[in-house]
Structure 1
Amino acid sequence: MTTDVKLRRYKFDLAALQRLAALNYAAFKPLAESVRQHGAQVIKIGQHLRFALTVLESAPYTTEVRIEQQALVTQLPGLKETQLDVRLYHDAQLAEVVRSQGVTRLQPAYDVPNPRMHHANEKHQVNHFLQEWLQLIKSRGLLQEN
């Protein structure tokens, strides 16, 4: 008995990614402004989770901020701490992850399988992760919206 399994190719949804980028911009902008004005900041969540925020670039229409998890306990071999570089586009009011875990130039869609083992929708996933991270720090009272 043979079964025909048709693989569905991931279809990139630009409108969904732009909606997510607009939500992330609105949530991230006050935090980015604070980091830009006061220098690097550390956000502590609980006893064992800290994130350092640093402005990498600042221009009239864009700001790029690095979010980097800081280890508070001895790292496990092979464990890579979270690192995201987020670019805010002030004119378009969008924020997107431009680098994640050292991966630059995230593609909108990847063929699966691929040599680097990226998910088909990796770009959307890392931007969704940013949204969840922003919700976490907001729920802990560490992010105030203006």
Structure 2
Amino acid sequence: MTTDVKLRRYKFDLAALQRLAAMNYAALRPLVESVRQSGSLVIKVGHQLRFALTVLEAAPYTTEVRIEQQALVQQLPGLKETQLDVRLYHDAQLAEVIRSQGVARLQASYDVPNPKMHHADEKHQVNYFLQEWIQLIRERGHLQEI
């Protein structure tokens, strides 16, 4: 007895990614402006969670920032703190995650399975994670300029 299983290939949705990038840009821009003025920004979420926001590079049409989780207590061995590098495109008003957990040059889609075990929609997922992070700091974050 055989069953016909059709594997559905992931279809990259550019319009959805651009909508997400536009929302992330609008939400990140005020934070990036604060960082430009103060040099660095720390965002506390509760007692055990803290993030640093740093401008890595500023140019007329783009700004690159790093969002990095800072451990307040000893983490489990092998556990990596969150690290995202985000490029803001001021002319297009879009924000895109360009590096996540040290992985650069995220492709729009990946074949599954693949040697590095990326999800088929890895690029969309890390940009959606950025949106969730922004929502978290809006709801529970406390800004501390350094």
- Bin the TM-score by the shorter chain: over 0.9
Q: State the TM-score, normalized to the length of structure 2.
A: 0.95
Alignment of 1:1-146 (within 5 A): 1-140=1-140, 142=142
Shift of 1:142: 4.2
Return the alpha-carbon distance in structure 1 between the equivalents of residues 113 and 141 of structure 2: 40
Query: Greater strand share, 1 or 2?
Result: 2
SS at match of 1:4: coil
Return the alpha-carbon distance in structure 1 between the equivalents of residues 77 and 142 of structure 2: 30
SS at match of 1:16: helix
Q: State the TM-score, normalized to the length of structure 1.
A: 0.95
**Higher RCO (Cα < 8 Å, 6 or more apart):** 2
Aligned Cα RMSD in Å?
1.0
Among all aligned residue pairs of Structure 1 and Structure 2, give the percentage whose two residues are the same amino acid. 84
Question: Structure 1 runs of 4+ off > 4 angstroms?
Answer: none
Unaligned runs of 5+ in 2: none
SS at match of 1:18: helix
Return the alpha-carbon distance in structure 2 between the equivalents of residues 21 and 4 of structure 1: 38
Return the alpha-carbon distance in structure 2 between the equivalents of residues 68 and 26 of structure 1: 20
Unaligned runs of 5+ in 1: none
Kept in 1: contact 2:86–2:97 (CA 8 A): yes
Shift of 1:140: 2.1
Return the alpha-carbon distance in structure 1 between the equivalents of residues 41 and 26 of structure 2: 19
SS at match of 2:20: helix
